[in-house]
């Protein structure tokens, strides 16, 4: 895949992310499939005590990065217990 600067291709504030996460799509990691590209990212929610909790979500794009195919509607890996 050859690098081509596209600018912002995904704005998490424009999509309903799992766990009421409304901001951030940080630490992107990409998997390329035959007919689409999946980008995993970290997003956050604020818990009842005001602490931030990170969740992993994903967005699927077509191979040209011009069309969003799917945005995850649940956390990829659920939070574990404290300790």
The whole-number pLDDT of residue 46 equals 84
Residue 77 maps to a domain = no
How far is 24 from 55, CA to CA, in rounded Å? Answer: 10
The whole-number pLDDT of residue 1 equals 65
Q: pLDDT per position in the chain (83 positions), as tens?
A: 678 888 889 988 888 888 877 778 889 999 999 999 999 999 888 888 988 888 999 999 999 999 999 999 888 988 888 77
Residue 9 maps to a domain = no
Residue 82 maps to a domain = no
Structural domain of 32? 16-71
DSSP lists the bridge partners of residue 54 as 44
| pTM for the predicted model, two decimal places | 0.84
Number of domains in the chain: 1
Is residue 52 within 8 Å of residue 44, measured between CB atoms? yes
DSSP lists the bridge partners of residue 63 as none
Residue 1 maps to a domain = no
Name 81's Cβ contacts closer than 8 Å, sequence gap at least 6: none
Residue 54 maps to a domain = yes
């Amino acid at each position: 895949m050859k690098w081509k600067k596209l600018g912002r291709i995904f704005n998490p504030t424009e999509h309903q992310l799992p766990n009421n996460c409304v901001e951030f799509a940080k630490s992107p990691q990409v998997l390329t499939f035959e007919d689409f590209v999946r980008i995993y990212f970290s997003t956050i929610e604020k818990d009842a005590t005001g602490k931030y909790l990170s969740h992993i979500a994903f967005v699927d794009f077509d191979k040209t990065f011009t069309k969003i195919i799917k945005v995850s509607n649940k956390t990829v890996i659920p939070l574990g217990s404290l300790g």
